[in-house]
Amino acid sequence: MNVSLVEEKISKRTKAIVPVHFTGYMTNMPELIKIAEKNNLPIIEDACQSILGSINNINAGNWGITGAFSLHPLKNINVWSDGGIIVTNDKKIDTELRLLRNHGLINRDSVEILGYNSRLDTIQAIVGNWILPKAKSISEERILNANFLDSKLSKIKAIKIPPRPKNYRLVYHLYIVFAEQRDELLNYCIDQGIEAKIHYPIPMYLQKGVSFLNHKKGDYPVTDKHCNEIITFPCDQHLDKEQLEYICKTVKNFYESEI
């Protein structure tokens, strides 16, 4: 989210501000808080990709009235099927959420409100309880791996590393850089056995599911530019030094062979 563009979009219909802490890189929350308070709007954080990410030592999910985290199998902290966590310091919201997740039941026989069946099943809860204490070490490993990639890839002229603000703790759900000849590099890396990807090749505003909004290509030029230039490399906690070196060597070899 480009926070400098938020206030001009606020109208009488605006009910809340929902920043998405995308890829493990948090929205500029100190500035967003100022805008929210000025306009008397709650902030609901989508922190699904940023568990233990922080700005000024305040973790994602602690800035808004609520924060949401995903336990999808591909997230930094995951269960074996799917699930999620909502955090809040608001007692009223806490009470309502607990009702909503369990059919609105206040006891076995009494339905207080109409709710849903959103309970985490027992097996997933066991997995979640096992992996949550490992969250800190998992984040630290991913950060170390991303820092290693930064140090090597930043020496390649055709690769541009995104900004790494010193007061931010980036947790690298995805490790994304900008690359010249991106598509050719992507195919080369895949051919060399590296699971490089593009997150995401079709921008949200051009997805068929939101065609009713009548967006056309070019409405979001920054998004379009990113879609054409970004590439994702593995940096998860399971990689060893040799594998990280191989990624960097492969990228270097690609550009040297193109000269």
Question: Are the C-beta atoms of 86 and 98 separated by less than 8 Å?
Answer: no
Question: What number of other Cβ atoms are within 10 A of residue 41's Cβ?
Answer: 17
Ramachandran quadrant class, 54 (left: phi over 0; alpha: psi -120 to 50; beta: rest): beta
Long-range (24+ apart) CB contacts under 8 A made by 202-211 are: 202/227, 203/227
pTM score of the predicted model? 0.93
Cis peptide before 200 (omega within 30 of 0): yes
Domain boundaries, the chain: 3-134, 135-258
Tell whether the model's pLDDT for residue 183 goes beyond 60.
Answer: yes
Q: Give the pLDDT confidence of 211-221 residue by residue, as tens digits.
A: 999 999 999 99
- The CATH class for the domain spanning 3-134 reads alpha beta
Contacts of 50 (CB under 8 A, 6+ apart): 21, 22, 24, 25, 26, 60, 171, 173
Tell me the average pLDDT across 48-61.
Answer: 97
Distances (CA, A) of 242 to 4, 152, 193, 245, 246: 41, 13, 14, 5, 6
* Burial class (CB within 10 angstroms; exposed 0-12, middle 13-18, buried 19+) of 177: buried
Report residue 207 as tokens. 């997805």
Report the distance separating Cα 96 and Cα 87, nearest Å: 12
> Would you say domain 135-258 falls under CATH 3.90.1150.10?
yes
Mean pLDDT, range 243-254, rounded to an integer: 98
**pLDDT score of 48:** 96
**Which residues share a beta bridge with 54?**
59, 169
Measured between alpha carbons, how far is 223 from 83 in angstroms, rounded to an integer? Answer: 29
H/E run at residue 183: helix 182-191
pLDDT band of residue 259 (cuts 50, 70, 90) is low
Using alpha carbons only, how large is the chain's radius of gyration in Å?
Answer: 21
End-to-end CA distance of the chain: 37
DSSP classification of residue 162: P
User: pLDDT tens-digit profile of 156-165?
Assistant: 999 999 999 9
pLDDT in tens, 120-149: 999 999 999 999 999 999 999 999 999 999
Question: Rounded mean pLDDT of the chain?
Answer: 96
